Chain A
């Protein structure tokens, strides 16, 4: 098959086949990252702009390395949190960038829907690197890649996602991706952090972390986003209480399957959502996620640039 998407705006647009196609493509790219010379000429002559309106080290670096290993010219633009702060509209920013003829724009923005806005107006491909509380598709794909790599399968996996679901684009994208490939998702978090109707997306909402984690194959902890606490009333009484009820400790992890994976999209608040002993324990695959992120992003850039998946060796 060939990949029929010009943009990667969200997992929601991707079929089960698309997801597996991306994962398979990423697999063939992963090996490049371990070579002595970590570079292939695949995207030589292509220009990729990383347009980041929100602070991000991990994702931006991962996309940048992915582009460079494919020999594309990658340029980073960090704008302030909103284009309006500088007095320029998003459309003007986009038009200016388009005038430089990039092939792909990788975009991170604090407003949900901002990459969709650009994709409608620009000729180049747009890859969503996280928009508001909406989607973070490359993160979900690297999570799936890591699960498949470690577990050998995705179908039938029981995945617990715990934390601030409301503000988490990672949770939304994972929810779409996991349910599409036949995994089962359980969500848990404080009542103030569970958005209405989330169960309609195919997840089971659990009252407690324990209920979500029990018998799980994968436990994915989300970062408590302290910066989101200010407006609209407090979402938590205290971090102390949060860590007591929704923090993953070694004891609580015992409720999961003995071979369960512990995942976290990072950056972690150690001692809050995850105990250090768990974060550094034998079940954690947190750095594998980071490593696989490069391969998955290489695959995304390659596929939106019109590439065909190379045959698996």
Chain B
């Protein structure tokens, strides 16, 4: 099977390419790139007016499978991924049972092979049962395809356990992913601490709850030489701590979500439970800092923290609602919006969705170089559409962007040379 993508604007930041080029894919591999390729192909895709970029990679999703398939499963989650332009996702271990052993990892891999629409890279737990006490078998898990370790949804509260994790994982290469939250400072907060929380009479979570834990984990990475990746960074202080650490040569990377660079805690007004997430939507100043971090390279990747929840889990009093939103199908246009608003240029935007995340977790992909597996996303940057949550491919519909006008969408998502998703019309 061969595929020729013609006349597109190829943006491949990892290889410093931004040019009008054709792409020839043969047997799952990028066989040739060049201007005006005259090659016989089984299928020709005319990408005139479109962007042709490395397949997007989301290093932070919750596929909820095994155990919570009523929210999402590997089939529905990866379908949402390819519909959003993602050719690979890394999935968090807070499933039931927790992915803290090889049996669960192998189940995810096998299931992804059977019903998955894109590549699925398991992230395993740092500690057994996410309990924060004893380490998982990180060596064996790394050897078998686990790309990172995280107790996501919870911090590793015990500093010594976190230190040992960073030390132990070093020879195996995968990073420790920090869900940075000092729980004693979070208390029973349900949104960002600040004026909006004061007005709404909701308990606040101060920024320092995040900053304090990022600072601790960065220092532990410095102490141990281990690789640290900070998940869903959301505060000005957090960005600054990572910026300074990088300058000192600490092995730290971080990611930000589209909701944290698009929305502030103002979105909680009206007690909209679709604006309830962890970390919470922050202030205007934090949002500005995230955008600065995306622009200056402090933030390595955009990741969605795709967190599907059933309607009934959100259709309750704000205090009781579960945290999180679905994000796979809105991430690309929200990132392109940053380009339109001149926060970052197009190349940087694509980098944040491709080589950036690949680099943070040490994944293959994120490149359109000859000889690479053919994971390619064709984007129509001008396609305007309205977010209708009920039409999203995810099994859950918990999006705060319902009704938003978006610009830009994946029109073809190619995984290993096969068209995994094609937008009709």
A residues near B (Cβ < 8 Å) are 12, 82, 84, 89-91, 109-114, 116-117, 131-135, 166, 169, 172, 195-198, 200-201, 231-233
Contacts and interface: CB of A to CB of B under 8 A. Distances in A.
B43 to A, nearest CB: 49
Nearest to B186: A232
Given A84-B316, A196-B195, A113 B187 contact: no
Contacts of B198: 166, 195-198, 201
Closest A-B pairs by Cβ, 10 of them: A232-B187, A134-B201, A197-B195, A113-B271, A111-B317, A133-B201, A112-B201, A195-B198, A111-B319, A197-B198
Given A116-B271, A201-B199, A233 B315 contact: no
Contacts of B270: 116
B187 A132 contact: no
27 contacts: A12-B199, A82-B320, A89-B316, A90-B316, A91-B316, A109-B317, A112-B200, A112-B202, A112-B271, A112-B318, A113-B271, A113-B318, A114-B317, A131-B201, A134-B200, A134-B202, A172-B201, A196-B193, A196-B195, A196-B197, A196-B204, A197-B195, A198-B198, A231-B187, A232-B187, A232-B188, A232-B189
Contacts of B204: 195-196
B187 A112 contact: no
B153 interface: no
A143 B128 CA distance: 56
A89 B317 CA distance: 9
A113 B188 contact: no
Q: Is the interface of B mostly helix, strand, loop or mixed?
A: loop
Interface residues of B, number: 24
Q: Which of B197, B201, B271, B318 has the most CB of A within 10 A?
A: B201
Contact of B320 (A84, A134, A135): A84
A233 B186 CA distance: 10
A91 B315 contact: yes
A35 to B, nearest CB: 38
Given A172-B199, A200-B195, 4 more contacts: A90-B316, A111-B318, A117-B271, A198-B198
Interface string B81-111: 0000000000000000000000000000000
A196 B206 CA distance: 10
Nearest to B198: A195
Interface in B313-327: 315-320
B276 to A, nearest CB: 11
B341 interface: no
Contacts of B199: 12, 172, 197, 201
Nearest to B202: A112
Nearest to A12: B199
A161 to B, nearest CB: 14
B158 interface: no
B184 A233 contact: yes
A7 to B, nearest CB: 14
Interface string B146-163: 000000000000000000
Interface in B257-293: 270-271
Contact of A111 (B189, B195, B197, B320): B320
Contacts of B197: 195-196
A211 B188 CA distance: 32
A11 to B, nearest CB: 12
B235 to A, nearest CB: 15
A229 B277 CA distance: 25
B187 A233 contact: yes
Given A197-B194, A231-B188, A232-B188, A135 B316 contact: no
A132 B202 CA distance: 8
Contacts of B188: 231-232
B14 to A, nearest CB: 43
B184 A132 contact: no
Interface string B197-225: 11111111000000000000000000000
Contact of A135 (B194, B201, B319): B201
A135 B202 CA distance: 11
A114 B90 CA distance: 37
B381 to A, nearest CB: 37
A197 to B, nearest CB: 3
Nearest to B317: A111
Contacts of A200: 195
Contacts of B194: 196-197
B42 interface: no
Contacts of A133: 201-203
B38 interface: no
A172 B199 CA distance: 8
Contacts of A117: 271, 317
Interface in B3-49: none
A109 B317 CA distance: 10
B1 to A, nearest CB: 50
B208 to A, nearest CB: 12
A5 to B, nearest CB: 17
Interface string B164-203: 0000000000000000000010011100011101111111
A116 to B, nearest CB: 6
B312 interface: yes
A231 B190 CA distance: 13
A131 B317 CA distance: 11
Contacts of B271: 112-113, 116-117
Contacts of B200: 112-113, 134
A189 to B, nearest CB: 13
B131 to A, nearest CB: 21
